[in-house]
Amino acid sequence: MPIDIVTVLMLIGGGVLLVVGAEGLVRGASRLAASMGIPPIIIGLTVVALGTSSPELAVGISSSLGGNADIAMGNVVGSNIFNVLFILGVTAIISPLVVHERIIFFEVPLMIFVSLLLLVFSIGGNLNRIEGIILIVGLIAYMLFLIRQSRRENAAVTAEYAAEFSEADKTPSTIARDVIFVLVGLGLLVTGSELFVGGATEIAEALGVSQLVIGLTIVAIGTSLPEVATSILASLKGERDIAVGNVVGSNIFNILAVLGISSAVSGSGIAAADVAVRFDIPIMTGVAVITAPIIFSRREVSRWEGVLFVGYYFAYTAYLILDASGNSHAGNFRVAMLGVVVPVTCLVVLLVAGKEFLHLRKNGGIRGPQSAA
């Protein structure tokens, strides 16, 4: 069945509306928050983090209510894999990423924990409403922690966020403008999500592949474009705490907010396909786990590690394409990746992290970031 040009235009148009809507929502909401006297670092950690995850949320709610649960689940799982492997990888290649202690000791472990939690919740084949509410409660607790923790940040980190999210004017005209940005942004997100999900569903049917694969690839990449722009621009400006925090925070928000809210508003919850439970969600969890020793080893993500991440993303995508097309080599490719490449990489990373841990014990402190390779 050929792909209709209208379907392609729906997908592209919906993706554009999602990106533009997210940008309008983030810009308007961050300025409104600043005009109300909310500190820039809190704006960056909460308002902007939620805003950049708004395309995933819009698509998640739209697809779950529309009975396209595989797209909802695939979108979050695929976005989380894309965020770490591709966005963090490309950003590190541009400029090695120094990682703040809060991210090392709290947010990365939390990202790993919520990934494992999603894996546990999905084992039964469905993320039900009760589990969704549990995720929402976790989201609220996480945001309250961020607000409390922001008051303890050092001057350098606070200055980064102040430069990016400075105080806005408080005149009636500027406040009205920002309200319009928020409302228009929300409208574009709703419209864009309907078009995007509709186009993605029809493309899946035309290509004869599952909605899960489309969600893991096309939908995941499309809804992650705000994170791409935010992280790369932050890296180019030297705001590397924002670049790393955006990726890690987005992954946490995707699970707690997007899947939490989507499963809570859907009466039957969100179905988790068996293949996702056996392969894709474990891959997402493994990607989250592998960031811990990499970041801990030198408190940075170096260029060679960025290249490694991007290479893994292309390998994962290649497997999805081979498997979806029924290629006979897909099974061998999967065995090679899971049985050889991934274990060897984990071993190397753990050896490096172990060496750094011994260094920490010897010197009684945290080793500062080293120069990039």
Residue ranges making up the domain that contains 210: 5-361
Whether 370 maps to a domain, the answer reads no
Nearest to 192 by CA among 235, 225, 157, 230: 225
Q: What is the pLDDT of residue 7?
A: 83
Whether 367 maps to a domain, the answer reads no
Those residues with Cβ within 8 angstroms of residue 157's Cβ, 6 or more apart along the chain or in another chain:
41, 100, 241
Whether 373 maps to a domain, the answer reads no
* 300 DSSP 8-state letter: E
pLDDT-derived band at 370 (thresholds 50, 70, 90) equals: very low
Q: What is the pLDDT of residue 130?
A: 92
Q: What is the pLDDT of residue 170?
A: 65
Whether 189 maps to a domain, the answer reads yes
Whether 254 maps to a domain, the answer reads yes
Whether 92 maps to a domain, the answer reads yes
pLDDT-derived band at 135 (thresholds 50, 70, 90) equals: very high
Whether 371 maps to a domain, the answer reads no
Q: Are 352 and 293 in contact (CB under 8 A)?
A: yes
pLDDT-derived band at 157 (thresholds 50, 70, 90) equals: low
Average pLDDT of the chain?
79
Q: What is the pLDDT of residue 266?
A: 79
In whole angstroms, give the CA distance from residue 300 to residue 323: 34
pLDDT-derived band at 224 (thresholds 50, 70, 90) equals: confident
CATH of the domain at 310: 1.20.1420.30
pLDDT-derived band at 373 (thresholds 50, 70, 90) equals: very low
In sign, the C-alpha dihedral spanning 249, 245, 115, 286 is positive
Q: Tell me which of 109-118, 217-226, 362-371 is least confident.
A: 362-371
Q: For the purposes of burial, counting CB atoms within 10 Å of the CB of 282, is it exposed (0-12), middle (13-18) or buried (19 or more)?
A: middle
More confident site: 303 or 238: 303
pLDDT-derived band at 114 (thresholds 50, 70, 90) equals: very high
Q: What is the pLDDT of residue 131?
A: 93
How many structural domains comprise the chain? 1
Using alpha carbons only, give the angle 256, 260, 313 rounded to the nearest 5 degrees: 55
pTM of the model: 0.81
Whether 372 maps to a domain, the answer reads no
